[in-house]
């Protein structure tokens, strides 16, 4: 890379919720949620690890001959994917970007040779064409995928590899239905259709090598445990879009609705997982 970056040297702009546009206010809430979740994240992130492992498998099997000099982990979280990247390409310069400083601090404890940078992946503070691999596992769904894709294109060198795992519009269908008709608020994050991302890739001249969309499911003994698993990985938007707490009777109705989907293994929660491998 042509520009040397010191650890945690680049910080995303601070925006208060009082004067921020709606989209930025939501992002501020998400950032705080992930900062709070840093200590609980790894213990609860079994779905995130599964999705990340599959992304690594897809990239390794993509038949791209990669010997990168510089690799970016965009939205690195606590660094689970970064460990694989460091082992895969030990000679490459590895940069870890995340907007939650607590997540970056956790990633620094892994002992891998990497540069952590606090930054918004929709507006990366890196020069053009400075990376050979752009990697991001379960971060794009918290952002605008079109902006993320544009930043990947800008920062990748010609022929560089894009490896992304994200979530589709059918994420958490059980929660959506359980909360339906309770009130008029969106209790689950709204995610754009992943087919739009695929179309944008093809329209932008990317060579798509892997495109996979499959559900990843987990089961929980009760609704409390299920919601706790969501909160502990930072996905607190389930409750924080409503200005006042739900009443006890509302939660009872939600629990009763969710029980309709109970299976022998417990209450299901379905992630709509999407994997994309491409090169520019």
| Tally of structural domains, the chain | 1
Alpha carbon 22 to its chain centroid, in Å, reads 20
Which of the four pLDDT bands, split at 50, 70 and 90, describes residue 183? confident
Does residue 39 lie within any of the structural domains? Answer: yes
Does residue 179 lie within any of the structural domains? Answer: no
Q: What's the pLDDT score for residue 53?
A: 97
Assess whether pLDDT exceeds 70 at residue 251: yes
Assess whether pLDDT exceeds 80 at residue 66: yes
CA of 235: how far to CAs of 68, 73, 173, in Å?
Answer: 32, 20, 15
Q: How many percent of the chain have pLDDT more than 90? A: 66
Does residue 245 lie within any of the structural domains? Answer: no
Does residue 230 lie within any of the structural domains? Answer: no
Does residue 259 lie within any of the structural domains? Answer: no
Assess whether pLDDT exceeds 80 at residue 262: yes
Contacts of 92 (CB under 8 A, 6+ apart): 68, 69, 70, 71, 85, 132, 133
pTM, rounded to two decimals: 0.85
Mean pLDDT of 29-42: 67
Does residue 184 lie within any of the structural domains? Answer: no
Q: Which residue has the higher pLDDT, 112 or 31?
A: 112
**Among 58, 49, 22, 47, which residue's Cα sits nearest to residue 171?**
47
Which of the four pLDDT bands, split at 50, 70 and 90, describes residue 192? confident
Question: 236 in helix, strand or coil?
Answer: coil
How far apart CA 236 and CA 190 sit, in angstroms, is 13
Assess whether pLDDT exceeds 90 at residue 149: yes
Q: Which range, 16-20, 25-29, 97-101, has the best average confidence (pLDDT)?
A: 97-101
Q: Is the C-alpha dihedral spanning 217, 222, 225, 227 positive or negative?
A: positive
CATH number at residue 87: 3.40.50.150
Does residue 243 lie within any of the structural domains? Answer: no
Which of the four pLDDT bands, split at 50, 70 and 90, describes residue 190? confident
Q: What's the pLDDT score for residue 186?
A: 64
Does residue 247 lie within any of the structural domains? Answer: no
How far apart CA 26 and CA 37 sit, in angstroms, is 16
What is the extent of the structural domain holding 129? 22-171+189-222+271-279
Work out the mean pLDDT of the chain and round it to a whole number.
85
């Amino acid at each position: 890379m042509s520009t040397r970056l010191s650890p945690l040297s680049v910080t995303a702009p601070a925006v208060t919720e009082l004067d921020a546009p709606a989209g930025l206010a939501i992002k501020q809430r998400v950032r705080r949620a992930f900062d709070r979740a840093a200590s609980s994240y790894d213990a609860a992130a079994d779905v995130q690890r599964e999705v990340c492992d599959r992304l690594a498998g897809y990239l390794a099997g993509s038949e791209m001959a990669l010997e990168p000099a510089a690799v970016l982990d965009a939205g690195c979280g606590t660094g689970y994917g970064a460990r694989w990247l460091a082992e895969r390409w030990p000679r490459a310069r590895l940069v870890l970007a995340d907007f939650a400083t607590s997540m970056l601090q956790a990633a620094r404890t892994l002992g891998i040779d990497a540069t952590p940078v606090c930054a918004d992946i929709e507006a990366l503070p890196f020069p053009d064409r400075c990376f050979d691999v752009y990697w991001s596992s379960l971060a794009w769904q918290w952002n605008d995928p079109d902006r993320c894709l544009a930043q990947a294109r800008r920062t990748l060198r010609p022929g560089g590899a894009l490896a992304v795992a994200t979530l589709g519009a059918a994420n958490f269908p059980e929660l959506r239905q359980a909360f339906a008709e309770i009130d008029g608020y969106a209790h689950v994050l709204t995610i754009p259709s992943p087919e739009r991302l695929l179309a944008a890739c093809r329209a932008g001249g990317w060579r798509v090598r892997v495109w996979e969309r499959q559900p990843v499911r987990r089961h929980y003994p009760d609704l409390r445990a299920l919601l706790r698993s969501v909160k502990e990985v930072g996905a607190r938007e389930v409750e924080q879009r409503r200005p006042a707490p739900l009443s006890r009777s509302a939660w009872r109705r939600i629990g009763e609705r969710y029980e309709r989907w109970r299976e022998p293994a417990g209450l299901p929660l379905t992630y709509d997982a999407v994997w994309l491998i491409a090169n520019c």
